Structure 1
Amino acid sequence: MAVAAKWAFCAFLGIMLLHILAILLFTRGFLLTRSELSQYSHCSDVDESPCFSPPRDQTSNGSCWNKPVVDRLVIIVLDAIRFDFVAPSTFFAEKKPWMDKLQVLHEFASQNRSSRIFKAIADPPTTSLQRLKGLTTGGLPTFIDVGNSFGAPAIVEDNLIHQLVQNGTRVVMMGDDTWIQLFPHPFVKSYPFPSFT
């Protein structure tokens, strides 16, 4: 009887250790966290780069960016929309009821050479917060970011919005209030709408 109890205790202890190891591996591997660098790139970083040989002249507004090709740029990000709702589908042979319903974007892209439609494929789980962080910082979103979707902290690392504002570009936002959560200050004007409506 004592031997059976000893084996039962050892089996229980082994199972508990196995569970602890599994939880540790899961949290270290699946729920990755990112280290955010609070530094921003500047024009002086170009001179220090071993990959860049000729020094660039700064433009008239003091930035090290090339002169813009266009005066204004409008970027429309449509989150959680089927691509064949915007552009004609090549997947289905026959036209489905939802296809090609937002024709204004497709017409604009086909008539005007300065317009483009891009398709982004996101791996699940996906939230607006994760996609916006990925688009603006160039980083890969993590599963742990899903928990931050309801009250996201402001982005403190280098990002596209910061670089545009730093180089004298006026940035206006209209849309999901997640943008305001991530970037509370840089917009000249903002027209946020609640995310969950």
Structure 2
Amino acid sequence: MGAAVAGWTVAAVLLQVAGLSLFLYGFFPVKPTLRGFSGAESYRVPSCGSVSAGEQEPALPPDQLRSLYRELSGIPPVYDRLVLMVIDGLPAEFVLGRGRKPPSKKMMESMPYTQSLLAGCKAAGYHAKAAPPTVTMPRLKAMVSGAIGGFLDVAFNFNTQAFLEDNLLDQLHMIGLKLVMLGDETWIKLFPTLFTRQDGVSSFYESANITGTTSQKASRPNMGMYFRFCL
């Protein structure tokens, strides 16, 4: 009798372990990494029979890639410098309101410059819906590559590794633009060799005041500057 009970107990434990493993495998799938970056073929107008199947175009220097990019876009550059400012933890209703209602007067007075741009049709405000999880690292990956994060990214967020898939920042770097980063060190962990200059702040140091050095760093000549502020 005792042996039978022990056997059923072992079988039940094994069944639970198998069920838990199946659940974890289905609920936390590991997304395969598509290494590599698109080359000169992405900067040309698609055509039939221009390149044989399986044949890759030779790598081009940054100045030629930049010329191809401008020729394909057909839009001449107006500015030679871009500042991308990402404010983490800013609810959309603080700027755009909620439920088709404008934000409160107190919220509008707290961000007068942003509200003036929206009121003067010099900026477009909209809600961007993101699938969970919405922690820092998956957000940044989605912004620069369009990749959809998984639930397992919550664990990877605390041990961020270099991002090896095709993305916007690497493409800008390939055409010769210089990138400078000031803010959350997650950017540096994702792109450790990309920035010409960098000044990272820990994601957990939310009281960090890094705005004081912004004007000093922005005064140096750069083609692109990327900032991420922790609020």
Normalising by structure 1, what TM-score?
0.77
For residues 180 and 127 of structure 2, the distance between their equivalents in structure 1, rounded to whole angstroms, comes to: 23
Sort the Cα spacing of 1:103 and 1:191 in 2 relative to 1 into closer, same or farther, 3 A: farther
Aligned to 2:160: 152
Deviation by residue 1:108-161 (Cα, 9 ceiling, x = unmatched): 244363x33443333343211111112112211122222222341111121111
Q: Which of 73, 76, 84 is equivalent to 2:85? A: 76
CA pair 142-194 structure 1, distance change in 2 beyond 3 A? same
* Correspondence 1:174 to 2:168: no
Distance 2:76 2:21 in 1: 50
- Please name the residue that 1:133 is paired with: 141
Tell me, in whole angstroms, the C-alpha distance in 2 between the residues paired with 1:25 and 1:133.
Answer: 27
The alignment partner of 2:156 has SS state of helix
The amino acid that maps onto 2:5 is A
Corresponding residue to 1:20 among 11, 14, 17: 17
Distance apart, 1:81 and its partner CA: 1.4
Instruction: Go from structure 1 to structure 2 and tell me whether the alpha carbon gap of 1:119 and 1:184 turns closer, same or farther (over 3 Å shift).
Output: farther
Where in structure 1 are there 5+ consecutive unaligned residues? none
Alignment partner, residue 54 of structure 2: none
Q: 2:95 aligns with which of 82, 86, 103?
A: 86
CA contact (8 A) 2:133 2:150 kept: no
Structure 2: stretches of 5+ with no match in the other structure = 51-59, 206-231
Amino acid paired to 1:84: E
Distance in 1, matches of 2:132 and 2:42, equals 35
Query: For 1:48-127, what aligned pairs fall within 5 Å after superposition?
Result: 52-53=46-47, 61-63=63-65, 64-65=68-69, 66=73, 67-71=75-79, 72-87=81-96, 89-91=97-99, 96=104, 99-100=107-108, 101-111=110-120, 113=122, 115-127=123-135
TM-score, with length taken from structure 2: 0.67
Number of aligned residues: 186
**SS state of the match for residue 142, structure 1?**
coil
Matched-pair contact (CA < 8 Å) for 2:133–2:153:
no
- What's the % identity of the aligned pairs? 28
The aligned residue for residue 5 of structure 2 is 8
- Measure the CA separation in 2 of the matches of 1:118 and 1:61: 35
Residue 39 of structure 2 corresponds to residue 42 of structure 1 = yes
Letter in 1 for 2:114: L
SS at match of 1:78: strand
Distance (Å, rounded) in 2 between the aligned partners of 1:166 and 1:7: 67
Task: For residue 185 of structure 1, give the secondary structure of its aligned residue in structure 2.
Answer: coil
